[in-house]
Every structure is written in C-alpha cells, then in structure tokens.
Amino acid sequence: MTPVHPTPEWAHPGKSLLLPAFWVVLMLIAGGAVRLGLFVRESFAAYPTATLLALVLFGLYAVPFCVFVAALDYLEREPPLLLATAFAWGGLVATSISIRGNAAVHNLMAKLASPGLAAEWGSALAGPTVEEIAKALGIVAIVLVARAQVNSVLDGVVYGSLVGLGFQVVEDVVYAVNAVAVAGQGDQVAPVVATFLLRGFLAGLWSHTLFGALAGAGIGYLAVRTDRPLLIRVSVAVLAVLGAMGIHFLWNSPLLSLGGGAGIFGDLFVKGIPPLLMILFLVRGVRHREADYYMAQLAALGDRRIATEEELRVLAQGHLRAGARRHAHGRCGVKGRRAVSRLQRAQARLAVELSRASGVNVPGLRINPSVSPGPAVLTDSDVPPADTVVPIDPYASAAAEASGDPVVPVDPFAPAAPATSVGTSDPAISATSAGMPVAAGPPPTAVAVGVARVAAAPVQARVLGGPAAVRWRDRVLVERGRMLALGHPEATAPLTRNGSVRRVVGGIAVFLTAMVTVGLALIALGAS
C-alpha cells in the first residue's frame, strides 16, 4: 500500500454540499466570523490606528507561512477553498471556542485549586487542552467535508498548519489590541509593534502553526493509511494531538523558563527550537514520502522528454526546484526562469493526474496485450488475465541497467520506445514529435500517456492516465520545446552539496541574528 491515496477521478467538489459536515462547518465559520467582526468593529471604534496596524502586520505575517505551506504542497496542490476553510476554522471557529473555553478552564483551576495555581499554570493547562482540541476539530472537519482531497499525511500537515496559522494570526491581533487597551495610553501603535515582535517574530515559529502541523500529521495518518489497523491509526492520531498539546504545554508553562529578559532567549532555545526541529524533520519525512510517490509516477513513463532522472530529483525538493529556476534565470533570463517554472508545474500536475488514473494508485501499469495491442506488450509469464493490470516497479529499469540486464536504449530526450496512444490535445505538439501516433475515435476515459520500462524483460508497458494526464503531458512537452528553443533543455539545479549547506547555514545565521537583535531590543524596552 502506498503512502498516498490519490483523489479519485470521480471525486466532485459539489458532493461536499450534500454532506452534513459541510453545513456544520459553514455554520460554525459564519458564527465565528460574526463574533470576530464584532470584536474588530469595537476595536476600530476605540483604537482605529492600532487595530488597523495589527490587522496589517499580522496579515503580512501570514504571508511567509503561506509561502512555506505552498512549497510543501507543491506537488499535489490542495484546493484553495479548502485551504481557506482550514484557515477560517483556525481564525474564526477555534479562536471563538478557545476564548470561552480558556476562560472557563482558568476559572475552574482557580475555583478548584487556587488563584495562584491558575495564575502560574492556567495558560499551560487551558491553552494546550482547549486550543489544541479546537484546532484538531478543524482538521477533522476538513476530512469530513472533503475526504477525497486528503491524500497523504502531508495533506494533513498542510491543513493542520493552516488551521494553526489562522488561529495564530487572529489570536495575535486580539493580543495586540488588548495590549493597547491595557497600556491605557489611547490609540498607540507601540503595544502593537511590541506584540508583533514578541508574539509574531520571536515566538511565532514554534506556535500554533507548528502545533497544528503535528496534529494534522496524525489526523492525516488516521485518514489516509487505511492499510494499517484502525487501532494503530487512532493511536498515531491521538499521539500526534497529545504531542502538539505537550509542546504547547511546555511553551506556556513556567518550566525551563529562566525569567527576566534572558528568559526570552531561554524560551527560544530550550522550549522553541527543539520542537521546531523535531516537527520539521517529521514534515520532511512525510514530504519525501509523498514526493517519492509522485516522482515514481513520472519515472514510470520512462520518457526523458517528460522528466530526466536529474529533473525528478530536483522536482522532489523545494529548494532544488528554486535552484533550477535560479539557474535557468542565470542562463536564459526571465524567459528561462518562467519556462522552468512552467515545466515543473506541468510535471507535477502530470504526476498527480497519472496517480489518479482510473483510481489505480500504483506507480505504473502494465496492460495485458489483449487489451493493448501494439509494440507495448508483455512477455512475462505471470501476466494477469485480460482486462487486468498489474503494478510495476518504476525504478526497476535503473536497477536493471545497473545489473546489466537488457533495457531499451534511450536518446537524451526521446521516449523509451514508441507506443501507440492517443493524440495530443495541444495542436502545438505533433503526435510524431511526441512519438505517439494519433488514434481515431472518441477520447477514452483512461489512455496511455507513456511507456514504462520493465526490468524483467526488454519490453515496455504503457502507462495509463486520464484525459487530464494527456493534457498535462502535452503541456510538459510544450514547455520542453520552449526550453530547448532557449538552449536550456533540462530543469536541473547544479547546486553542489557545499552550496546547499552554505545556503542553509547562512539562512539559519541570519535568522538567529535577527532573533537575537529583536530579543535584545525587547529586553532594552523592558518587555517580558
């Protein structure tokens, strides 16, 4: 079983309207919007400049997070409406729930224990329990509304982090406006800026977006890995939510806090960075699993015009994709950059469409000769009966090459072997140039878009894809043609390992320097 469940082709967004979960989510978001709208209206009436600044600052603050999430979500893009729903749940529903729930937990602690305990540990207890549950419900709601769109653990991470980001942005706006009110100096922007630096810049990276990502990974696992026993899936989801609660608890609690101005740095390095690194490694792992899956879809085509081995390596990782675009820009200017960008996008879409073909989620498919006459036939003795398909190992050809087994020789940008297939949907691409003669008749629902090389025998099998896959294959070929015309045929990133390390280390150094500078400034200003 693969780590990715592609969205079936029969999945239709309109079906969500028929689900009770859709209306429940809509109702809750509308309620949260009314509540937040009232708060913003009152805040504008009392502190117009400060409120506007808070909205602008924290609105802009969300942008780099969105860019990061978009990079994570590059290969199999989630529907923007669902992403917006996740953000809205975090910002409108989870915050509304948490304002009431948090206050109640604080009060209950004071009533059942003591005001001192509530003052010391109230945030550590109320935040993780109420807020993390409220946010996790948002990810569950997304799964309920659009189950077919949650295809991998990474999708859970994406939705979870957006729920967390929405929560974080709205919570910070509320904090900023409250800081203005508490300062008692009227419509001043200084408390807003201080809140932005402290909660946004210093504490923002290991805040709700991070907690949400962890919880989302667990819930994504529960939803996607249906090949695992239910008990294990539920346990993983519960552990992930508990992990998010644990990190949140540690961050909010007085544990490991040095106190005073130096406490800012203590909190950053002891309570902030370790969970950040841990979750980033987790996200990196699930991202690679998803990327491997989609790269296998392209690799199964065995067509270097669609994607070379080096391009597959580059396409799988965000920083390499960016490096390839930079490289193209250096060689061919803006046109080169755009061509590489479009090629990468088309390759990613093609990989997704291949994975969706006919609801079969294997990297490549062999088709029984009786179904698929022509040169792409199988000679394996264990070929299944007619009208059936079997998965193949997309990397087998590489292994075969290494072991000396015969494989089909390929030209640098030629298909592995000619195949009979449907014609292109783009007139700019001739069927001949694509190596695929045009077939007559109405377009089928699942058609061959490429040829998979099979290691066991020097034969090829056609790879299925729907009409959308054909369109994206054509788009790839168009972009490839453009790149060839530019004299930059391959979208690769000639980054050396040392170059990558330098970039990462440089980025971390700049980031830490900025944090220390802001921290020192806040200490000088007397923030705590």
Partner 1 sequence: MRVARGTLLRNLAGSIGVLSTVAGLAFGLPAIDRALPAARPVDSGPYLVGGGVTVTPPPGARLDVTLTRPRDTRGTAVFLVGTVRYVIVVAPFDGSLADATQRLRDKITRGHQITGKESPTRTATGLDGVQGTYAASGRGGRYLVFLAGDVAIEVTVAGSAPALRAALGAIEASTRTIAYRGGTP
**Binding residues vs partner 1 (CB under 8 A):** 12, 14-15, 18-21, 24, 28, 93, 96-98, 100-101, 103-108, 110-112, 114-116, 118-120, 130, 133-134, 137, 140-141, 144, 184-186, 259, 526, 528
Smallest separation (angstroms) from partner 1 to the CB of 125? 12
From first CA to last CA, the distance across the chain in angstroms is: 51
CB of 163 to partner 1, least distance (A): 13
Would you say 141 or 459 has its CB closer to partner 1? Answer: 141
- DSSP calls for 477-516: HHHHHHHHHHT---------HHHHHHHHHHHHHHHHHHHH
Angstrom distance (rounded) from CA 341 to CA 345? 6
Least CB distance to partner 1 at residue 107 (A): 4
C-alpha dist (Å) from residue 394 to 2, 15, 292, 301, 329 = 13, 34, 11, 8, 32
Taking the complex as a whole, the smallest distance from the CB of residue 117 to partner 1 amounts, in Å, to 10
Q: Is 462 helix (H, G, I), strand (E, B) or coil?
A: strand
Closer CB to partner 1, residue 185 or residue 517? 185
Cβ 102 vs Cβ 121: under 8 Å: no
Phi, psi of 180 (to 5 degrees): -65, -45
190-202: string of b/e by CB count within 10 Å (b at 16+)?
Answer: ebbbbbbbbbbeb
Q: Are 139 and 159 spatial neighbours (Cβ–Cβ below 8 Å)?
A: yes
CA distances from 99 to 67, 134, 170, 203, 215 (A): 29, 11, 11, 20, 20
In the bound state with partner 1, the residue whose beta carbon lies nearer, of 64 and 254, is: 254
In the complex, the smallest distance separating the C-beta of residue 97 from partner 1, rounded to whole angstroms, is 5
In the complex with partner 1, the residue whose CB is nearer, 12 or 41, is 12
Q: How many CB atoms lie within 10 A of CB 90?
A: 32
Closer residue to partner 1, CB minimum distance, 198 or 469: 198
Closest CB 236 distance from partner 1, rounded Å: 18
- Supply 479's token pair: 């972009």
Beta carbon nearer to partner 1, 147 or 337:
147
Question: Based on CB atoms, which residue is closest to partner 1, 16 or 397?
Answer: 16
CB of 15 to partner 1, least distance (A): 6
